[in-house]
């Protein structure tokens, strides 16, 4: 069995491998950046590292950004020397799935690299 970290993005249940999740942080200040596309929320500086923060629903499903107010949970992802942060609609937590890759059909498993590639593609 493997562990996945599940969250909601634009009404879809999405999962990433738990080992790619570096931290889930609250109360972390996001610095907005001009000239960036709508899915790009800003940057977070956490423990000496920069993370591009993306609206999970907007980058994965091209929905309109929600506009964030108040406390937001930010999922910091790190994999193979790369990093990225997502703001999901809601965090569901850790779930188990079979190592064979069989998983609950309602959860879309996604690798952080695909999210990064999608963001770069959307930016053009």
Partner 1 sequence: MVDLSKYETIFTRESRKYFCELDTLLAAAEGNPEDRDIWREIQGKVHSIKGMATALGYRTAGDLSCGIENWCREFQQRRPGPEAVQRLQDGLDVLKGITAAKNAVDKSGLAERFRDVLALFSAPPETTDTTREEDSLPPQSANASVDSINQVRVDYGLIEELVGLSQEILSLEKMLPSNSRKQLPAPARNWVSHYASLLKVLYFKLMNLRLVSVGDFACMFSRLIRDQAIEYGKAVTFEVLGEDIQADIALLDRLREPMVHLIRNAVAHGIEPAEKRVLAGKDPRGRLFLEAVRRRDTLLITLGDDGRGIDRVAVIDYLRRVRGLEPAQIEAMPDRELLSTICCSGYSTVSKPTAIAGQGIGMDVVVRSVESLGGSLFIQSDPGKGARFTIELPVTLSFLYAVTFKLGDFTLSIPTSSVDSVEKLKSQPSCEPPCSYLDLRAVLGVEAVSGPSYMLKFRGGGAAASNGDFIPVVIDTDSIVNKTLVMIPAGELLSKAGVFSGVGVGEDGTVSVILDVEALNRRSGFPSSGASRRSG
- Contacts to partner 1 by CB under 8 A: 27-29, 31-36, 40, 43, 45-48, 50-52, 81, 83, 116, 119-120, 123
Question: Would you say 104 or 117 has its CB closer to partner 1?
Answer: 117
The DSSP line for 14-41 is EEEEGGGEEEEESSPPPB--TT--TTEE
Shortest Cβ 92–partner 1 spacing (Å):
26
Question: Would you say 50 or 94 has its CB closer to partner 1?
Answer: 50
Shortest Cβ 81–partner 1 spacing (Å):
7
How many other CB atoms are there within 10 angstroms of residue 71's CB atom?
Answer: 8
Half-sphere exposure of 39 (CA within 13 A, CB side): 24
Shortest Cβ 72–partner 1 spacing (Å):
14
Smallest CA-to-CA distance from 60 within 8, 6, 101, 2 is with 8
Write phi, then psi, for 109 (nearest 5 degrees).
-80, 135
Number of H helices, E strands in the chain: 2, 9
Shortest Cβ 52–partner 1 spacing (Å):
5
Question: Would you say 43 or 103 has its CB closer to partner 1?
Answer: 43
Question: Would you say 6 or 74 has its CB closer to partner 1?
Answer: 74
């Amino acid at each position: 069995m493997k562990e996945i970290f599940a969250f909601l993005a634009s009404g879809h249940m999405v999962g990433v491998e738990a080992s790619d999740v570096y931290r889930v942080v609250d109360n972390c200040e996001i610095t907005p950046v001009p000239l960036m596309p709508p899915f790009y929320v800003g940057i977070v500086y956490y423990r000496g590292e920069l993370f591009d923060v993306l609206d999970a629903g907007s980058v994965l499903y091209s929905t309109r950004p929600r506009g964030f107010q108040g406390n937001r949970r930010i999922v910091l992802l790190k994999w193979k020397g790369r990093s990225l942060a997502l703001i999901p609609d809601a965090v569901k937590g850790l779930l188990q799935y079979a190592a064979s890759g069989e998983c609950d059909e309602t959860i879309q498993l996604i690798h952080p690299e695909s999210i990064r590639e999608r963001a770069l593609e959307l930016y053009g």
